[in-house]
Amino acid sequence: MLNGKQMKQLARMQQEMMTVQNAVAVMTAEATSGGGAVKVVARGDGALVSIKIDPQAVAAGDAGMLEDMVLLAANQALEKVREAASREMSKVTAGMNIPGLS
């Protein structure tokens, strides 16, 4: 059972988590592949914001390789934004010692 101090900690942590979640939703991360031929920007809410492809990569005519570069850059951008979100959320929960929450 939680005591009064722990309830206040939990309420503060919930408020801070909501603030961080809102900030994370709009943060962006960028990744490239193919030596910069493909650039992808992802947002913290999991949406892809933009994909830029160097026209020379298209002119090369290897659709399979271009698809792989887009996929790689997109996954890297999404992973970067997930890692940043995790770091921000861990700042909120650091030092909190509430039984039953880990």
Q: What is the pLDDT along the chain (102 residues), one digit of tens a residue?
A: 778 888 888 888 888 888 988 988 999 999 999 999 999 999 999 999 999 999 998 887 889 999 999 999 999 999 999 999 888 888 877 766 555 554
All structural domains of the chain, each given as residue ranges with its CATH number in brackets, are 4-93 (3.30.1310.10)
Distance from C-alpha of 31 to C-alpha of 79, rounded to nearest angstrom: 10
Closest by Cα among 24, 25, 40 to 77: 40
pTM tops 0.85, yes or no: no
